[in-house]
Amino acid sequence: MKKVKRPPRGTRRRDVPLTEARICAAALRLIDADGVEALTMRKLATALDANPMSLYHHVPNRDALLRGAVRMVGAQFRTVTLEDAPWQERIRLLATDFRTLAHRHPNLMAYSFSQPDFIQPEDPFWAALIATLDVPGVPRSEIRQVAALMCAVVIGVLIAELNGSLHQWSSLDPTAPAAGEDGPPDAGPDEERMFRLVLDTIITGLESRLTADDDGQGADRDGAPEADPWSGEPVFVPRQQSVSSSRWPDPV
């Protein structure tokens, strides 16, 4: 009579005890398979061959579970520093590493990109990015903002790539409406080329901004922020702050 509680299934998992790491790993598997929104405490429990309520003894709630999965994936990001390469190549390497990680767990990464706090100050990725931007002489007062913007840019491209927008927009011809499926059908091989194109454009823009500032490489670092052209007004932008507040009257 008691034996019916553990029927002889094909794969037995419950001889190993329930830990937070095992729970998060199983959650990551479910997310990789079916997406974040398909992760359910009850489904996760049956995947672990456990009672749904047992999970709450190791994980406070579903949000913490998701954070644990994100943390588990982020721990896989171990950047080789490659200190002898030029800074442009080091930035490229950091970005492509990021992209590889995003391709490994696209469902989880697409979710975590929209969450705050998924890059922490002690992440080796962040430290490597800061160190790399310090090489060509980005002013110390601006270096964190430049690093933040590079993260935002890379994440934006990765989001658009992961959810298919990049491919869809690239084949969005306003003049010729129906081109058929002439190009590659689904997983375009030129997403990587486009990713490199953004990186190159950003790096080129950084370079020209840096050379415009270049009077003595190591001198005047950490100076007053108002002194260097990084903090000045951009060349082309007019003062248009009042233009955008009077547009689009909300009809709701």
Binders of a second copy in range 208-247 (CB under 8 A):
208-209, 230, 234-238, 240-241, 244-245, 247
| φ and ψ at residue 100, rounded to 5 degrees | -60, -45
Question: Which of 197, 214, 223, 224 touches a second copy by CB under 8 A?
Answer: 197
For a second copy, the binding residues in 106-145 under the rule CB under 8 A are 110, 113-119, 121-122, 126-127, 130, 144-145
Q: 54: number of CA atoms within 13 Å, CB side?
A: 16
CB of 6 to a second copy, least distance (A): 25
Q: Is 34 in the site for DNA (CB under 7 A)?
A: no
Out of a second copy, DNA, none, what residue 39 binds, judged by CB under 5 to 8 A for its kind, is DNA
Count of Cβ atoms closer than 10 Å to residue 39 Cβ = 24
Q: Which two tokens stand for residue 37?
A: 């929104």
Compute the Cα dihedral for 26, 31, 34, 38 and give only its sign: positive
- CA torsion, points 135, 139, 141, 144, in degrees to nearest 10? -40
User: For a second copy, how many residues bind (rule: CB under 8 A)?
Assistant: 90
Q: Is 63 in the site for DNA (CB under 7 A)?
A: yes
Q: Amino acid identity of 251?
A: P
Contact 49, 13 (CB under 8 A): yes
Contact characters 77-96, a second copy, x per CB under 8 A: xx-------x-xx--xx--x
Rounded to an integer, what is the distance from CA 162 to the centroid of its chain?
A: 11
Q: Which two tokens stand for residue 149?
A: 């913007």
Out of a second copy, DNA, none, what residue 166 binds, judged by CB under 5 to 8 A for its kind, is a second copy
Rounded to an integer, what is the distance from CA 214 to the centroid of its chain?
A: 32
Radius of gyration, alpha carbons of the chain: 24
Out of a second copy, DNA, none, what residue 46 binds, judged by CB under 5 to 8 A for its kind, is none
CB of 14 to DNA, least distance (A): 8
CB of 16 to a second copy, least distance (A): 14
For DNA, give the closer residue by CB, 60 or 223: 60
Out of a second copy, DNA, none, what residue 67 binds, judged by CB under 5 to 8 A for its kind, is none
Q: Where are the beta strands (DSSP E) in 28-136?
A: none
Q: Is 40 in the site for a second copy (CB under 8 A)?
A: no
Question: Can you give the binding site for DNA, defined by CB under 7 A?
Answer: 17-18, 39-43, 50-54, 56-58, 61-63
